[in-house]
């Protein structure tokens, strides 16, 4: 435990030093990587460990984003409390959904969560206190003056997002290495044997769904911070599919791989812009290319590396050791 704490502290210090030496675009992308890392960790916990397939992580992120924004705007609370409320309400929503999800499996569960990802943005448009289509602002405020005039808003976003991501990964890592993680893996591998051993699989599945939803909601709040807005257009079905692709590329049962998946998801828009410039298709091509690239990567990963490149590399390293 002590070594892990020291490792995370050193990693955080290194990231903050790097963030202070790169340009604004890279700092903003660093905050995006932190956000995707948290979101992908939620999929690893839910799918990679407990075996529950969800296509609605974008909707869970929306719950967290709206909870954080409403808390900050209506209560005037500190930023950290808004993030806590994102975790709390997302976990509560996940527990309710998980109670129903525990009775479902395979394509039925995937279809249910997919319907949630499609329907939730439309529902949000119907309530005025949620801001409708334009959404509501989420302003964490300016960075502290003691950090200096050269410390920009994007650097402030990066600091907050990085700290949250490191804490989320540290806590998730410990949960997955605990008896809960071992129990979830047992349920995924052999549900019947797990039930016969006296473990209540449904309760453990609900717990996994609850914690996964809390992580997704936290990622949704971080996304809201980086774009200073919470709106249905920020939590689309495309986001849910992108997260699934990132999780597959990272390896759905590999927590360290989520950083690789996050890097790929952030790099895709830049790759799409470069291809659009070469093809000469203008804005129409560049707007559709990211989704096309995500789809192609997902198909290729499922065909050639079902466990994800990240997981395959991890297994290859273990064989050598």
pLDDT, one tens digit per residue, over 69-94 is 999 988 888 888 999 999 999 999 98
Residue 69 is predicted with a pLDDT of 92
- 59 shares a domain with 159: yes
- Give which of 211, 247, 3 is closest to 97, Cα–Cα: 211
Give the Cα separation of 225 and 161 in Å (integer): 9
Residue 36 is predicted with a pLDDT of 94
- Give which of 229, 269, 214, 298 is closest to 39, Cα–Cα: 214
- 39 shares a domain with 66: yes
- 203 shares a domain with 135: yes
Domain that holds residue 161: 2-235
What is the pTM (predicted TM-score) of this model?
0.88
Residue 92 is predicted with a pLDDT of 94
Give the Cα separation of 69 and 57 in Å (integer): 18
Residue 283 is predicted with a pLDDT of 62
- 173 shares a domain with 34: yes
Instruction: Select from 214, 235, 256 the last residue of a domain.
Output: 235
- 241 shares a domain with 230: no
- 263 shares a domain with 198: no
Among the residues of the chain, which ranges form H helices? Answer: 2-19, 24-43, 57-75, 79-101, 106-124, 153-176, 179-189, 191-196, 201-227, 237-250, 258-279, 282-304, 309-320
Q: What is the number of structural domains in the chain?
A: 2
Q: Is 230 helix (H, G, I), strand (E, B) or coil?
A: strand
pLDDT, one tens digit per residue, over 169-228 is 999 999 998 988 888 888 888 777 777 777 778 888 889 989 999 999 999 999 999 999
Residue 103 is predicted with a pLDDT of 72
Residues of the chain with confidence (pLDDT) below 70: 1, 104-106, 279-287, 304-321
- 306 shares a domain with 176: no
């Amino acid at each position: 435990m002590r070594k892990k704490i020291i490792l995370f502290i050193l990693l955080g210090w290194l990231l903050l030093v790097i963030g202070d030496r790169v340009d604004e675009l890279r700092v903003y992308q660093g905050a995006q990587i932190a956000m995707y890392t948290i979101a992908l960790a939620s999929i690893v916990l839910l799918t990679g460990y407990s075996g529950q397939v969800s296509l609605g992580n974008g909707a869970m992120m929306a719950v967290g984003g709206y909870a954080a924004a409403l808390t900050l705007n209506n209560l005037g609370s500190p930023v950290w409390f808004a993030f806590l409320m994102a975790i709390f309400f997302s976990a509560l929503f996940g527990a309710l959904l998980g109670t129903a999800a525990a009775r479902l499996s395979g394509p039925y569960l995937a279809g249910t969560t997919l319907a949630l990802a499609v329907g939730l943005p439309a529902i949000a448009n119907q309530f005025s206190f949620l801001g409708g289509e334009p959404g509501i602002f989420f302003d964490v405020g300016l960075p502290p003056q003691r950090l200096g005039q050269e410390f920009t808003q994007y650097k402030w976003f990066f600091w907050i997002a990085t700290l949250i991501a490191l804490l989320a990964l540290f806590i998730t890592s410990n949960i997955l290495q605990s008896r809960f993680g071992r129990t979830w893996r047992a349920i995924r591998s052999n549900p019947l044997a797990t039930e016969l051993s006296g473990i209540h699989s449904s309760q453990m599945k609900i717990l996994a769904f609850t914690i996964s939803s809390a992580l997704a909601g936290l990622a949704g709040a971080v996304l809201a911070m980086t774009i200073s807005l919470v709106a249905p257009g920020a939590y689309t079905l495309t986001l849910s599919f992108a997260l699934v692709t990132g999780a597959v590329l990272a390896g759905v049962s590999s927590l360290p791989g989520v950083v690789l998946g996050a890097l790929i998801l952030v790099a895709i828009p830049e790759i799409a812009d470069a291809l659009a410039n070469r093809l000469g298709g203008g804005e129409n091509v560049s707007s559709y290319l990211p989704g096309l690239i995500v789809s192609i990567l997902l198909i290729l990963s499922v065909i050639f590396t079902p466990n994800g490149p990240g997981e395959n590399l991890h297994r290859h390293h273990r064989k050598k050791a």
